[in-house]
Amino acid sequence: MRKIALVLLALCALAACGPADSGAPDQRAALDPALLQTLPAARAGQVLIYGAYGFTGAGISRLAADYGIAPVLAGRNPEKLQALADELGYAYIPLTLDRHDDLVRVLSHFELVMHVAGPYTYTAEPMLDAALEAGTHYVDITGEMHVIQAQLARHAQFAAANIMLMPAVGFDVVPTDCLNLYVAQQVRAPDHLSLVMNTAYQAAEGAVISRGTAKSGLEMLSRPLLLREDGVLVPATEPRVQQREINGQMQTLVQVPWADLVTSWVSTGIPTIEVYQLQQGEMPAWLLRLMRTDWGKALLGWVIDTFFPEGPPPQAQQTRQVQLIATASNAAGDSASAQMITPEPYLLTFHSSLIIARRILDGHWEPGFRTPAQVYGAHLALEIPGVSRQDL
């Protein structure tokens, strides 16, 4: 009991307390025939946003019109969905991920599904199965590396169906994927890539992550640590730690299993990839142990849903900035480095996902598993409002 109380206290301290999420999901609701009638008759140019009323889904849905997209909104909770659809004036369809035939039936009305419901450990596969059967392009905003690795294994299926599967069209990994490819293209036969993320470059008050990201984080942290070395993902017992000067100050950097270990390997072909974050405190060993049990994960999920704020407040979205530094090098000792300054990650995600959705609707896509920089090039990230890049 003492341990549980400590967990609650520690997590409450991490997050400013916010209102509980009281919406009870309707897991087995059948498709509403009246709402089915409102789905588009022809799929060209049509987008379904699944998970539309989540923190990030709502941000994307609210911005869609700026990119010339009038989506149909979907998700498993009819009340939350209808409230957002009424606010934005879009059609909507309540839909659960455990009814494959219904998912296929709905997706067959759309050219693209933007799957923004996570943790993707649980949500990715049913939507991928349905997208494949319906012949619908698929994008998501996952950062869960094990999920992306599993998606990569489905490349041949999506290529054969002549549709694109592009995960991670949010902050993970659009800016990093583009920056990594940019430096890789300036070095002959690069064999090493290092990326540093400084999420505290321009700090702001308020929550840093959403509840959905916190729960996806639990899924990532509860799995064995993997590193990319010589073209393969290898397990490690401890993350590497290094000291490096960043912005004129010595900093401690800690290796993190960021999704680029899969996506930038696909985009650049570089066999050894390291991603570091500026150290911002250490996670207690007991918390890590707790995450690695099913009951501990369930408890922490409840704490997140009950006590964490929904996501970064508007003021933080407008002011927070992240710094990324990428370096590619080769065996001859040549190297190229560049930095990117990005806006707040959720605001960036709203834009980056829609920029890519727009490209797909305009006919710019490639069949199979693809990464953002692989299809749209290293300069794609510069289209996102507030992103800048400098050679170092």
Interface residues with ligand NAP (CB under 6 A)?
23, 25, 51, 53-57, 75-77, 97, 116-120, 122-123, 141, 143, 168, 170-172, 210-213, 216, 311, 345-346, 349
Q: Whole-number minimum distance, CB 220 to ligand NAP, in Å?
A: 9
Distance of CA 124 to the CA centre of its chain: 12
CA distance 94 to 53: 11
Reference 86, options 112, 61, 110, 105; nearest CA is 61
Q: Whole-number minimum distance, CB 158 to ligand NAP, in Å?
A: 20
Q: Which is nearer to ligand NAP, 20 or 189 (CB)?
A: 20
Q: Whole-number minimum distance, CB 120 to ligand NAP, in Å?
A: 6
Q: Whole-number minimum distance, CB 42 to ligand NAP, in Å?
A: 27
Q: Which is nearer to ligand NAP, 336 or 376 (CB)?
A: 376
Reference 362, options 137, 131, 73, 154; nearest CA is 137
Q: Which long-range contacts (CB under 8 A, 24 or more apart) does 91-94 make?
A: 91/35, 91/38, 91/39, 92/35, 92/52, 93/31, 93/32, 93/35, 93/36, 93/38, 93/39, 93/48, 94/26, 94/29, 94/32, 94/35
DSSP code string of 221-263: HTSPPEEEETTEEEE-SS--EEEEEETTEEEEEEE---THHHH
Q: Which is nearer to ligand NAP, 210 or 321 (CB)?
A: 210
Q: Which is nearer to ligand NAP, 170 or 368 (CB)?
A: 170
SS3 8: helix
SS3 334: coil
Q: Whole-number minimum distance, CB 49 to ligand NAP, in Å?
A: 10
Could you tell me the CA-to-CA distances from 276 to 84, 195, 272, 318 in Å, in that order? 38, 6, 13, 25
Strand 335-343 and strand 388-391: pairing? Answer: antiparallel
Q: Which is nearer to ligand NAP, 49 or 69 (CB)?
A: 49
The phi, psi pair for 102, rounded to 5°, reads -65, -40
Q: Which is nearer to ligand NAP, 95 or 227 (CB)?
A: 95
Judge contact between 71 and 47, C-beta under 8 A. yes
Q: Whole-number minimum distance, CB 194 to ligand NAP, in Å?
A: 20
Q: Whole-number minimum distance, CB 258 to ligand NAP, in Å?
A: 10
Q: Which is nearer to ligand NAP, 193 or 207 (CB)?
A: 207
Q: Whole-number minimum distance, CB 372 to ligand NAP, in Å?
A: 11
Q: Which is nearer to ligand NAP, 190 or 372 (CB)?
A: 372
